[in-house]
């Protein structure tokens, strides 16, 4: 057992330069070149001129050496990766001088960034966050994300899915830092500065600031109905909220303190979140925050080229954890094999050729999550009902905004002061209100609380080429209401109107509509790490999908009595037959008199089909125990 007075071996600094126990006594050589008040305390923020200042203070005043440092654009973030051979190429002649400089740089790399916080995350373990990230987190605009559910109405189906946008944003920021650090360590020639790394982490942290109540329900269902004609997505809200967060909390000066240049870097962070402007062309570099030499940085947080980004990696792992669904994609392995290669004057993040199968598995995981959770028929129904309640309450809700303005739920997106106050809590405000103007909205939310939901009628899929266009969605309830079965076939079917039906058109894809996202991924081979190639689907496996997008049409009935539900099922199956859509999976059970009339649906005997006319009659009679038929 070690005695109390025994000397302890100092801890070696961690590879990610996180805080650790520093040596008991700094070396005499390094003492003269440690950061002083005129240099920023974090060496990773130094530009080449500040590196020259650091060298001069250490006694390295050779003008030729300093000129080569400026010429090679050696920044503080690159210093830890230089060794004796690099110093020799820079012109440090004697071995003793090189040893002295190497010792100084090594001592410098042990200087911790003060204010780093460690957070215990259930997905990624103990994660470290830069003090600037902590300053952003500790603002009302970011804390708002604690009250926005990650999966909206899905929480009413999967009781474990109670996580919020807050923790997801922390995870994305952490993974962004992991990826950018891995690229910098493997390829110092990329000249990834600490400014670049910090901006990418801030973008990961703030990429979801613009989500409204119930997350995607707000910008995917509510806003298109409440503000028809307005093309607004949460990415635009995130950009607006980030600017509001910076300005209202005086963070420009704090950014400068940590080595950022607000005029350039705020623009860069916004571009990382929102992507290129819609007017941009493929052959012209459309970004302003960083030059084309840093193009790969735009593929880390929100990858518009192929959809492989740290945002997906976190929500795969986090959502699967809370949903109780297995996640088969390992993002750590992707980071291990990630490299940057040059393709047609652009730098892209690539991975090893042997990883192509794992990337197909990643997108398969995505589509499974959409089928099982994100687009669950009941979860979507609850989002529809919440959206309907918000629409009825919209003109009666007054949210305080800037300069004394009062905003509706739908207009809060135009005023970030009001949007900061708009969270999932609006659900409870309406539910517990006594305002008679909110009566209709309140009744809908009470139905959700009591599980008295609208009834699910059925689902179908159009054949390829007969998909329904978005502009035709609004007329679908009317089409179904007109598809009443003929009186001679079913004379006692209850009449229904378009107002009784809700039609939800759901798109399932691999993230790029009908395109294969892997077609936009570059790979490198073991024999040449710098040569980027594409790998076609046929080169991987013959068992991979031929289609990457499908459309599902789900129908619900607002009337919940048994007779109305039976009638709605007959209307729906008859409409599917008229439109030439696929037979609903339970079509032979819910409408046994209609499905035999469609020859295309009866090429093979269905396992659902009743074996005899007597069983068909029994199937109808079982639907009504009150003797209506």
Q: How far apart are CA 262 and CA 289, in angstroms?
A: 11
User: DSSP string spanning 278-346?
Assistant: TT--TTS---SSS-GGGGGGGGSSS-TTT--SHHHHHHHHHHHHHHT------HHHHHHH-EEEEETTE
Q: Residue 119's beta-bridge partner residues?
A: 127
234 is catalytic: yes
User: What is the chain's percent helix, strand, coil content, to nearest 5?
Assistant: 50, 10, 40
Q: In what order do the strands lie in the sheet with 549-557?
A: 455-460, 549-557, 501-509
Rounded to 5 degrees, what angle do the CA atoms 308, 246, 73 make? Answer: 65
Q: How far apart are CA 495 and CA 567, in angstroms?
A: 7
CB 186 within 8 A of CB 351: no
Q: Residue 163's beta-bridge partner residues?
A: none
Tokens of 252: 């420009």
CB 370 within 8 A of CB 508: yes
Which of 163, 211, 234, 331 is flagged as catalytic?
234
Backbone Cα Rg of the chain: 30
Q: How far apart are CA 421 and CA 440, in angstroms?
A: 23
CB 169 within 8 A of CB 202: no
Q: How far apart are CA 386 and CA 502, in angstroms?
A: 14
CA distances from 521 to 180, 216, 219, 292, 353 (A): 18, 27, 29, 18, 10
User: What is Dmax (Cα atoms) for the chain?
Assistant: 103
Q: How far apart are CA 174 and CA 555, in angstroms?
A: 41
Handedness of CA 266, 272, 276, 277 (dihedral sign): negative
Q: Which residues of 192-213 are buried (b: 16+ CB within 10 A; e: fewer)?
A: bbbbbbbbbbbbbbbbbbbbbb
**Considering only CA atoms, which of 172, 410, 414 is closest in space to residue 273?**
172
Distance of CA 329 to the CA centre of its chain: 16
User: DSSP string spanning 593-615?
Assistant: TTGGG-GGGGSS--TTS-SSHHH
Q: Residue 509's beta-bridge partner residues?
A: 549
Contacts of 18 (CB under 8 A, 6+ apart): 112, 116, 128
Length of the chain: 629
**Considering only CA atoms, which of 5, 147, 506, 517 is closest in space to residue 305?**
517
What amino acid positions are annotated as catalytic residues? 234
């Amino acid at each position: 057992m070690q005695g109390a007075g025994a000397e302890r071996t100092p801890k070696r600094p961690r590879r990610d330069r996180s805080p650790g126990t520093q040596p008991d006594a700094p070396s005499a050589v390094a003492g003269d070149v440690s950061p002083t008040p005129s240099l920023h305390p974090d060496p990773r923020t130094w530009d080449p001129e500040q590196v020259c200042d650091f060298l001069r203070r250490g006694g390295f005043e050779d003008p030729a050496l300093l000129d080569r440092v400026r010429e090679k654009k050696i920044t503080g973030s690159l210093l830890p990766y230089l060794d004796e051979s690099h110093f020799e190429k820079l012109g440090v002649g004697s071995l003793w001088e090189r040893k002295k400089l190497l010792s100084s740089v090594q001592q410098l790399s042990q200087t911790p960034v003060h204010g780093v916080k460690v957070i215990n995350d259930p997905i990624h373990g103990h994660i470290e966050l830069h003090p600037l990230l902590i300053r952003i987190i500790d603002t009302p605009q970011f804390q708002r994300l604690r009250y926005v559910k990650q999966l909206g109405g899905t929480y009413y189906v999967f009781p474990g899915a109670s996580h919020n946008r807050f923790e997801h944003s922390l995870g994305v920021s952490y993974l962004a830092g992991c990826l950018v650090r891995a690229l910098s360590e493997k390829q110092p020639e990329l000249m990834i500065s600490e400014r670049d790394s910090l901006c990418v982490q801030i973008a990961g942290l703030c990429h979801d600031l613009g989500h409204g109540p119930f997350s995607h329900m707000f910008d995917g269902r509510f806003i298109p109905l409440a503000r028809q004609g307005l093309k607004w997505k949460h990415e635009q809200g995130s950009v607006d909220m980030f600017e509001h967060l910076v300005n209202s909390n005086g963070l420009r000066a704090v950014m400068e303190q940590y080595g950022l240049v607000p005029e350039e870097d705020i623009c860069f962070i916004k571009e990382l979140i929102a992507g290129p402007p819609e007017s941009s062309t493929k052959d012209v570099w459309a970004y302003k925050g960083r030059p084309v030499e840093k193009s790969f940085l735009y593929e880390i947080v929100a990858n518009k080229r192929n959809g492989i980004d740290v945002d997906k990696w976190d929500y795969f792992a986090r959502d699967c954890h809370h949903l109780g669904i297995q996640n088969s994609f390992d993002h750590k392995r992707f980071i291990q094999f990630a490299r940057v290669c040059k393709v047609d004057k652009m730098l892209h993040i690539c991975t090893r050729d042997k990883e192509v199968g794992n990337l197909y598995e990643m997108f398969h995981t995505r589509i499974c999550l959409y089928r099982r959770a994100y687009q669950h028929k009941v979860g979507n129904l609850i989002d529809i009902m919440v959206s309907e309640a918000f629409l009825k309450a919209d003109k009666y809700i007054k949210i305080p905004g800037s300069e004394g303005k009062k905003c509706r739920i739908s207009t809060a997106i135009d005023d970030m002061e009001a949007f900061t106050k708009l969270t999932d809590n609006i659900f409870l405000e309406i539910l517990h209100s006594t305002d008679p103007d909110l009566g209709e909205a309140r009744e809908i939310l009470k139905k959700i609380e009591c599980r008295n939901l609208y009834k699910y009628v059925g689902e179908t899929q159009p054949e390829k080429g007969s998909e329904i266009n978005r502009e035709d969605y609004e007329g679908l309830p009317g089409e179904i209401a007109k598809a009443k079965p003929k009186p001679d076939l079913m004379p006692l079917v209850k009449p229904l109107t378009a107002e009784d039906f809700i039609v939800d058109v759901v798109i399932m894809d691999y993230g790029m509509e009908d395109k294969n996202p892997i077609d936009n991924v570059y790979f490198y081979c073991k024999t040449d790490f710098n040569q980027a190639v594409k790998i076609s689907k046929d080169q991987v496996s013959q068992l991979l999908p031929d289609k990457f997008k499908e459309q599902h049409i789900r129908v619900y009935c607002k009337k919940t009595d048994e007779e109305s539900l039976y009638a709605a099922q007959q209307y729906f199956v008859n409409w599917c037959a008229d439109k030439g859509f696929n037979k609903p999976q339970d079509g032979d059970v819910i409408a046994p008199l209609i499905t035999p009339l469609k020859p295309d649906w009866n090429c093979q005997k269905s396992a659902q089909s009743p074996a005899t006319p007597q069983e068909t009659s029994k199937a109808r009679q079982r639907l009504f125990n009150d003797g209506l038929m």
